[in-house]
Amino acid sequence: MEQQKSSKKALKITISLFLAIGLVVSLLPFGAAASWYRIFSYFGLRDFSAAADSSPMSLHVLEVGKADSILIECEGKAMLVDGGTVDCGEPVAEYLDRRGVKELEYMVNTHPDEDHIGGLAYLIGRYPVKKYFAPDIPKDLIPSSEEYLAAQKALNDKQIATVVPRPGETFSLGSMNIEVLAPVRQGGSTNNNSIVLKLTYGKTRFLLMGDAEKEEESDLIAGGEDLSADVLKVGHHGSSTSTTDALLNAVKPKWAAISVADDSNGLPKREVLKRLLSAGAAVYRTDVSGTLIFLSDGQNIKLAAER
């Protein structure tokens, strides 16, 4: 009888402890809440990102709200595409730390909008970056935002040169091939100057669209490049100005990943979701499923969703 009482008491204490942890984490601001893994690790709970440990190549669409940050790992090397808003710098770094990232082979800023470049200043200061890519933005579109200026200062402080990639150029991360598809020309907006990348690992392919809109999508299609991909990182957070039927006919994605949050913009737009589903893509959203990890062995792709 005493043993049963002790067991019940221990169970109550355990439940209370986990409820308390959940309450504390839920009350933390965005940046601090990303430290949840430290608390959970202390109690011996498994880190979600460990799903990628046994995969030679993984692409992590991080949950950073209505912003973009993508970690790509291949055979022990890492690169980062965008850094979210300024509030995302620390949580993205914490995720990279969990993955054991010590340096970045490449950092890519697809374009200088605040929700893509905001966290990069912090991340540039935190990690050695071997090569930094950014598009050649027309002078009248170069921003004067604090986020853009902070990133430029961080690059200057660490004497990191900005490399402007050109369509057709390729580089590698481990045995993964990365091809630059866009911008084909200088567009009329920062979105339409987005760097678009196609990643090929074995027989698996990933297309990262940045915030490319109809104008840049048309340039890609007109260029005649092979846009087919298994995974499409949907452009511009599912805005109606992107992800046209013409693009989807060229890409033919099996999966579509959308980095988005519940806000007044109402993204992703219903018509975009309809187009994706009509194209046969399985749609996953960070506001619903949390961080999305696509795992490739070079032959097949699997998805691990945070929730």
- Confidence bin at 22 (pLDDT 50/70/90): low
Looking at the structure, do residues 177 and 291 belong to the same domain, yes or no?
yes
Q: What average pLDDT does the segment 112-128 reach? A: 98
| Lowest mean pLDDT, pick from 36-40, 97-101, 114-118, 271-275 | 36-40
> What domain range includes position 127?
47-305
Q: What average pLDDT does the segment 199-222 reach? A: 98
Q: Is the pLDDT of residue 176 over 70?
A: yes
Looking at the structure, do residues 203 and 161 belong to the same domain, yes or no?
yes
Which distant-in-sequence residues (6+ apart) come within 8 Å of 17 by Cβ? 43
Burial 152-179 (b: 16+ CB within 10 A, else e): bebbeeeebeeeebebeeebebbebebb
| Lowest mean pLDDT, pick from 15-29, 91-105, 128-142 | 15-29
Q: For residue 47, what pLDDT is reported?
A: 84
C-alpha separations of 11 from 15, 155, 262 in Å:
6, 52, 36
Element (H, E) at 32: helix 30-33
Looking at the structure, do residues 274 and 236 belong to the same domain, yes or no?
yes
Looking at the structure, do residues 38 and 56 belong to the same domain, yes or no?
no
| Lowest mean pLDDT, pick from 104-108, 180-184, 266-270 | 266-270
Mean pLDDT of all residues belonging to the chain? 90
Rounded distance between C-alpha atoms, residue 117 and residue 123, angstroms = 10
Looking at the structure, do residues 156 and 261 belong to the same domain, yes or no?
yes
Q: Is the pLDDT of residue 206 over 70?
A: yes
The SS3 assignment for 174 reads coil
Q: What percent of the chain has pLDDT over 90?
A: 81
Is the torsion defined by CA of 220, 293, 269, 144 positive or negative?
Answer: negative
Looking at the structure, do residues 12 and 100 belong to the same domain, yes or no?
no
Q: For residue 263, what pLDDT is reported?
A: 72
Q: What average pLDDT does the segment 187-206 reach? A: 98
Question: Cα angle at 74 between 71 and 76, to 5 degrees?
Answer: 100
Q: Is the pLDDT of residue 130 over 80?
A: yes
Q: What average pLDDT does the segment 196-202 reach? A: 99
Looking at the structure, do residues 127 and 268 belong to the same domain, yes or no?
yes
Looking at the structure, do residues 63 and 16 belong to the same domain, yes or no?
no
For residue 226, what are its two tokens? Answer: 């092979």
Q: What percent of the chain has pLDDT over 70?
A: 85
For residue 19, what are its two tokens? Answer: 């409820």
Q: For residue 32, what pLDDT is reported?
A: 40
Q: For residue 265, what pLDDT is reported?
A: 76
Per-residue pLDDT reduced to its tens digit, 49-60 = 999 999 999 999
Q: For residue 262, what pLDDT is reported?
A: 79
The DSSP letter of residue 161 is P
Looking at the structure, do residues 68 and 31 belong to the same domain, yes or no?
no
Looking at the structure, do residues 193 and 278 belong to the same domain, yes or no?
yes
Question: Which of residues 133 and 24 earns the better pLDDT score?
Answer: 133
**CB of 111 closer than 8 Å to CB of 50:** no
**CB of 259 closer than 8 Å to CB of 286:** yes
Q: What average pLDDT does the segment 147-175 reach? A: 98
Q: Is the pLDDT of residue 191 over 70?
A: yes
Q: In what order do the strands lie in the sheet with 255-258?
A: 170-173, 176-182, 196-201, 204-208, 231-233, 255-258, 282-285
DSSP, residue by residue, 110-145: SS--HHHHTTHHHHHHHS-BS-EE-----GGG----
**Number of domains the chain is built from:** 2
Looking at the structure, do residues 101 and 250 belong to the same domain, yes or no?
yes
**CB of 192 closer than 8 Å to CB of 235:** no
Q: What average pLDDT does the segment 174-191 reach? A: 96
For residue 59, what are its two tokens? Answer: 């692409």
Q: Which amino acid is at 77?
A: K
- Confidence bin at 28 (pLDDT 50/70/90): very low
Bridge partners of residue 73, in order along the sequence? 58, 78
The DSSP letter of residue 143 is -
Per-residue pLDDT reduced to its tens digit, 213-244 = 999 999 999 999 999 999 999 999 999 999 99
Runs of H (alpha helix) within 119-232: 120-126, 146-157, 214-222
**CB of 196 closer than 8 Å to CB of 187:** no
Looking at the structure, do residues 114 and 78 belong to the same domain, yes or no?
yes
Question: Cα angle at 124 between 123 and 126, to 5 degrees?
Answer: 60
Per-residue pLDDT reduced to its tens digit, 256-274 = 999 999 777 788 999 999 9
